[in-house]
């Protein structure tokens, strides 16, 4: 009897391991006809390889128009993503010169997941209108990004992007950038890059072209960030800064932004379950339970 049980258990475990090896299908909803949250329904299922893809819900607002997407994306579509369970956002912190207040708007938000049919259309309305409400202290923003009324020029370090990438350190040497007295705004970028190696690239340039619409030179910060649901961790992957402060293009400004960045997770609670199952193993785990029950059922 013991030999029979051992053989059955061995066969069951072997079958489970083989099924894990070959079961990697992921069911994602896939619809492109969502013009609004109220009218959006989606019953179309697309079967993809969970090893290469994950499901998403997307809302993006640009020039007053809002776009919704329900689909899957491949892993290599966003090379900076390290876990399929996340919420990514693009948000802009701007200054209103009339009210003299800083405010944040959400340009784009994506909920990503990797369990069968996790990107349901009804969850679109749960995506918070203000994203993660990324913000920085008002005093810091005003002191660092706004031009003082008594100042006509600012200091802007001009750095060429292709020469200013460092492998994962986010540290740029001061002698790599020339200092320029700028009458316009200083435009700065820091972004994640994986063309050859994982690295962060820095770019800074003075824009004092009088033909440029002044609204494009108003002080603001646009941040692309990813909140990893399992790790409970926020990571910034790109920042674009339009600065009119006295010395806002100093090389450590992006470190200051990351250290002082504030977020609000209250509105994304519907997307924060206690734990996530891995799609690759879910079907196999059910099969294992059924097989074990069969193996130990007396005849």
Confidence of residue 151 (pLDDT cuts 50, 70, 90): confident
Four-point Cα dihedral 257, 190, 247, 178, nearest 10 = 160
Confidence of residue 19 (pLDDT cuts 50, 70, 90): very low
Euclidean distance between the first and final Cα of the chain, in Å? 12
Percent of the chain with pLDDT over 70: 76
Nearest to 143 by CA among 244, 222, 241: 244
**Considering only 85-99, 102-116, 206-220, which range has the smallest mean pLDDT?**
206-220
**pLDDT over threshold 80, residue 163:** no
Q: How far apart are CA 108 and CA 56, in angstroms?
A: 13
At 39, give phi and psi (nearest 5°): -100, 5
- Residue 280 is classified by DSSP as H
How much is the pLDDT for 235? 93
Which pTM does this prediction carry? 0.81
Q: Where are the alpha helices (DSSP H) in 1-44?
A: 2-22
Per the model's pLDDT, the better-predicted residue between 161 and 279 turns out to be 161
- Phi-psi category of residue 170: left, alpha or beta, with phi > 0 → left and psi -120 to 50 → alpha: left
Q: Are 145 and 248 in contact (CB under 8 A)?
A: yes
149 burial level (CB within 10 Å; 0-12, 13-18, 19+): exposed
Strand pairing report for 53-62 and 101-113: antiparallel
Q: Are 270 and 124 in contact (CB under 8 A)?
A: no
Confidence of residue 190 (pLDDT cuts 50, 70, 90): confident
How much is the pLDDT for 281? 45
Contacts for 278 with CB less than 8 Å, ≥ 6 apart: 50, 114, 115
253 burial level (CB within 10 Å; 0-12, 13-18, 19+): buried
**pLDDT over threshold 60, residue 107:** yes
Highest mean pLDDT among 144-148, 159-163, 295-299: 144-148
**pLDDT over threshold 90, residue 192:** no
At 160, give phi and psi (nearest 5°): -85, 130
**Considering only 101-115, 132-146, 231-245, 270-284, which range has the smallest mean pLDDT?**
270-284
DSSP 136-194: --HHHHHHHHSPPTT-S-EEEEEB-GGG-EETTT----GGGSEEEEESSEEEEEEEEE-
β strands within 50-85, DSSP E: 53-62, 65-74
Q: How crowded is residue 122: how many other Cβ atoms within 10 Å of its Cβ?
A: 10
């Amino acid at each position: 009897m013991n030999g029979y049980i051992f053989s059955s258990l061995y066969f069951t475990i072997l079958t489970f391991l083989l099924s894990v090896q070959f079961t990697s299908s992921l069911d994602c909803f896939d619809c492109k006809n969502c013009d609004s949250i109220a009218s959006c329904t989606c019953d179309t299922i697309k079967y993809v390889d969970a090893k290469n893809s994950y499901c998403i819900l997307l809302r993006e607002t640009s020039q007053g128009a809002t776009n919704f997407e329900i689909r899957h994306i491949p892993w290599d579509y966003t090379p900076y993503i390290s876990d399929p369970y996340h919420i990514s956002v693009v948000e802009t912190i701007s200054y209103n010169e009339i009210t003299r207040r800083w405010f944040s708007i959400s340009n784009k938000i994506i909920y990503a997941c990797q369990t069968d049919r996790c990107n349901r259309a009804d969850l679109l309305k749960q995506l918070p209108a203000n994203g993660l409400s990324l913000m920085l202290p008002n005093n810091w923003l005003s002191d660092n990004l706004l031009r003082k009324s008594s100042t006509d020029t600012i200091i802007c370090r001009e750095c060429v992007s292709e020469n200013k990438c460092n492998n994962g350190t986010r540290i740029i040497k001061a002698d790599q950038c020339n200092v320029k007295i700028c009458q316009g705004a200083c435009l700065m970028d820091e972004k994640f890059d994986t063309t050859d190696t994982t690295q962060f690239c820095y770019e800074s340039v003075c824009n004092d072209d009088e033909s440029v619409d002044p609204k494009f030179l108003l002080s603001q910060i646009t941040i692309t960030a990813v909140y990893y649901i399992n790790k409970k961790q926020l990571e910034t992957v790109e920042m674009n800064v339009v600065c009119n402060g006295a010395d806002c293009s100093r090389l450590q400004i992006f470190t200051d932004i990351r250290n002082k960045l504030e977020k609000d997770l209250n509105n994304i609670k519907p997307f924060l379950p206690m734990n996530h199952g891995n799609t690759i193993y879910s079907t196999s785990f059910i099969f294992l339970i059924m097989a074990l029950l069969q193996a130990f059922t007396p005849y």
